[in-house]
Amino acid sequence: MQISSRFTIGTHVMIMIALRGDKTKVTSDFLAESVGVNPVIIRKTLSQLKKAGLIHVARGTGGAALAKTVDEISLLDIYRAVECLGTTGQLFGFHDHPNPDCPIGHNIHDILDGKLAAIQIAMEKEMARTSLKEVVITTQKKIDQVSVS
């Protein structure tokens, strides 16, 4: 099982807005073409990013713009905006009813809960250290390399 693609779609969208927003109107159709998904998915992602205060979306003919500068937005901000961690806020879901009569089922939460929480904390710390600016700069460098080649 993989973690959903919502985070990578959200990051792709934010990079597109940052790099193309001043040159063209960034609409859901424009973004969907780059991301390679249905515009409905993009509209949901834009709605989540807007709700989190990361972007502004114009009504009508649309167009998205960053609500903050690229160095004020971290990958953790994007992740928290688009991932559905539910009421627990936990990355790792747990099967609901481990058998309490089984020695493993009885102890599985004690064995894994702390480890899984530590893994999530480590991932979120790394995401918090990485700004949208960093990935935008890396993206622009890759684009520049292709155009020079």
Q: What is the pLDDT of residue 56?
A: 95
Element (H, E) at 65: strand 64-66
- Say if CB 98 and CB 113 are below 8 A apart: no
Q: What is the pLDDT of residue 94?
A: 80
- What is the average pLDDT value for the chain, to the nearest integer? 91
Quick one: 61 exposed, middle or buried, by C-beta within 10 A (0-12, 13-18, 19+)?
Answer: exposed
Helices (DSSP H) in the chain: which residue ranges? 6-20, 28-35, 39-51, 75-82, 103-129, 132-148
pLDDT in tens, 21-43: 989 999 999 999 999 999 999 99
Query: Which of 72, 121, 86, 84 is closest to 10 using CA atoms?
Result: 84
Position 1 confidence tier, pLDDT thresholds 50, 70, 90: very low
Whole-number Å distance between alpha carbons of 117 and 112: 8
Query: Which of 85, 75, 72 is closest to 128 using CA atoms?
Result: 75
Q: What is the pLDDT of residue 95?
A: 81
Please report the domains of the chain, with CATH numbers, ordered by start residue: 6-142 (1.10.10.10)
Angle (deg, nearest 10), helices 28-35 and 39-51: 110
With a cut of 70, say whether residue 65 has pLDDT above it: yes
Query: Which of 43, 34, 29, 41 is closest to 15 using CA atoms?
Result: 34
